[in-house]
Structure 1
Amino acid sequence: MAVVLDLLKKDTRPRHPEKAHRPDQPILRKPEWIRVKAPGSPKWAETNRIVKENKLVTVCEEAGCPNIGECWEKKHATFMIMGDTCTRACAFCNVKTGRPEALDPHEPENVAKAVEKLGLRHVVITSVDRDDLADGGAQHFADVIHAIRARAPGTTIEILTPDFLRKDGALEVVVKARPDVFNHNLETVPSKYLTVRPGARYFHSIRLLQQVKELDPTIFTKSGIMVGLGEERNEVLQLMDDLRAADVDFMTIGQYLAPTRKHHPVIRYVTPAEFNAYATTARAKGFLLVSSTPLTRSSYHADEDFAKLKAARLSSNAG
């Protein structure tokens, strides 16, 4: 039986009083096309056990991802490093905000052990924002990458990083560790940053992605946005152009789902036909790969997508 996103959360109590957003507009009913099955299969349970045994945090749980049942069934998980507390308070995000604890020096090795036990072909590593750290956590990202390479050399590594705003030299540290895919999400169009992503800067994020390619052209770059936050179609198309100007390879587009009533409201549910139209346009603009569906998330089907990225690059070079 299908259940909606709200039933997938570990804790339905309000977690973010500082993110309170009480809109006048009514809460919209979720359409059938974004309903998902509840998790609970034996393989899901095994993934859950390995995560817990290694004392790891996953964005799958923290963000209340609607795809957790499908992904953990396939032993896919996105590990969230540097704790479960973010230094920023984005209006869309379900991760709690506050003062983070000190970094766990054992975390890189624990993540690597879990990757090895799960037998992952491809792993996604993300993090909370750590504005409290001098390098924004860049060295910790590098340490995790090195630990995975040592224990699971056959595993390809995708990272989803914060913006390292005002952290000089941080990006270079992460790129030097040579992840296979460098992902940094724009999240929304620039006109929505003040209300949706107030701690970030749109053009800084664009420049970050561009710099990755300048530092190491062999690394695939990736970025994603949510729609349904009140953006206009022409704004999304301009954002696509901005990403292509930064030579970004892969773009993801998914439906925004409000984690709680305290968060930014869903302004509308974008139809599957509109997502298909966005995908067609993005491909025409030159992205090597595009994922645009209501349930698309940054790391959804990441391992399959990495294989497609490599094939697309080979095809492009051959042409």
Structure 2
Amino acid sequence: MTVKPDWLRVKAPQWERVGNVKEVLRDLALNTVCEEASCPNIGECFKAGTATFLIMGPACTRACPYCDIDFEKKPQALDPTEPERLAQAVHRMRLNHVVITSVNRDDLPDGGASQFVKCIAAVRKISPQTTIEVLIPDLCGNWNALEMILQAAPEVLNHNTETVPRLYRRVRPQGNYDRTLELLQQTRQIAPKTYTKSGIMVGLGETDAEIRQVMQDLRTADCDILTIGQYLQPSQKHLQVNEFVHPEQFAAWKVFGEEIGFLQVVSSPLTRSSYHAEQVRELMKRYPRNRG
């Protein structure tokens, strides 16, 4: 495994704050992508008292070779108590902004959309001031399921692009680049006042020109927010890192993204889809959309 450069080293978390968050998660029997996907920012986020909740998991129906979420376990039936437990965690952690994501559930007719809706409703009921971001799978192109989620009115709809089209077959074999773009376009048409977001990981062999083309494609789909971060190999069985991209390149992509019209670009080696996601609240103040 390639040695990480200095700019990818993170400080060990302070256990006191991390432990408090873990206690809430364990007490309510909840999963987080922070833990299941081995996120490098877990210490910082748990210390800040935030987490990205992973619903309908932890077993995934897809086997993306970059991802550390388990795909070997058999997916379980949806838990009807999960939405209420998640809402209780949001309340106990006093979150101003919550990110709710999921594993892929291609075994379900609606891809799990109904569970997203229930989770949104449960959070709204006891934490009405908390803004909600959902990071969803592609739902196998089921736009009726997408509309179901959007009717629950999350403030942000996030769906990751992950990589450039040339690398999709190797990196995201069960995904589809055009379907990802269409999902974002459909979101804009169905819910024009919802903020849309997507993310890219780099260091898998893509070129600067390819990344810029993906950014242009996302803007054509009217995507509002973009995250760009360095891919890190979770284990020896996952895809190897092709390159550790220098922070200056991430800064250049941020400038380019802002020039072509993204409302926000978060671009750095340690950026992940939900990293500092609460900053969207400030963005919503700068670029308000009357949601009626």
Q: TM-score, normalised by structure 1?
A: 0.89
1:199 and 2:192 correspond: no
TM-superposed CA distance for 1:232, in Å, is 0.8
- The residue aligned with 1:242 is 217
| Pairing of 1:27-106 with structure 2 (within 5 A) | 27-98=1-72, 99-106=74-81
Shift of 1:169: 1.2
Question: Is the contact made by 1:91 and 1:197 (CA closer than 8 Å) also made in structure 2?
Answer: yes
Farther-moved stretch of structure 1 (209-218 vs 127-136):
209-218
User: How far apart, CA to CA, are the structure 2 residues paired with 1:29 and 1:236?
Assistant: 24
The within-5 A match list for 1:254-273 is 254-273=229-248
Partner of 1:296: 271
**Cα distance, 1:40 vs structure 2:** 3.5
Letter in 2 for 1:133: L
Map of 1:156-195 to 2, 5 A cutoff?
156-195=131-170
Cα distance between partner residues in 2 of 1:30 and 1:111: 35
Deviation at 1:166, TM superposition (A): 4.2
State the 4+ residue runs in structure 1 displaced beyond 3 angstroms: none
SS of the aligned residue for 1:224 comes to: strand
Aligned partners of 2:230 and 2:245 also within 8 Å: yes
Secondary structure (helix, strand or coil) at the match of 1:291 reads strand
1:309 Cα deviation (Å)?
Answer: 1.8
List aligned pairs for 1:86-235, cutoff 5 A: 86-98=60-72, 99-235=74-210
Retained in 1: the 8 A contact 2:141–2:179?
no
1:141-163 CA deviation, whole Å, 9 max, x = no partner?
A: 00000000001111100010000
Q: Shift of residue 37 of structure 1?
A: 1.5
- Give the fraction of aligned pairs with identical amino acids, expressed as a percent: 51
Choose from 207, 220, 227 the match for 1:252. 227
Q: Is the 8 A contact 1:227 1:253 kept in 2?
A: yes
- Could you tell me how far apart the structure 2 residues matched to 1:285 and 1:155 are? 30
TM-score normalised by L of structure 2: 0.97
Residue matched to 1:14: none
Q: Which residue of 2 aligns with 1:19?
A: none
Displacement of 1:44 after TM fit?
Answer: 1.2
1:269 & 1:166 partners in 2: Cα distance?
33
* Distance of 1:138 and 1:71 partners within structure 2: 26
Q: How far apart in 2 are the matches of 1:216 and 1:276?
A: 31
Amino acid of the residue matched to residue 242 of structure 2?
Answer: I
CA contact (8 A) 1:289 1:312 kept: no
- Long gaps (5+) in structure 1: 1-26
Instruction: Indicate the SS of the match to 1:165.
Output: helix
Matches within 5 A, 1:279-290: 279-290=254-265
Cα pair 1:288 1:312 within 8 Å, conserved: no
Q: How many Å apart are 1:168 and its aligned residue?
A: 4.8
After superposition, what is the alpha-carbon deviation per residue over 1:92-150, rounded to whole angstroms, capped at 9, x for unaligned? 10001032011111000000000000010000000000000010000100000000000
Which runs of no fewer than 5 residues in structure 2 stay unpaired? none
Q: CA RMSD in A?
A: 1.3
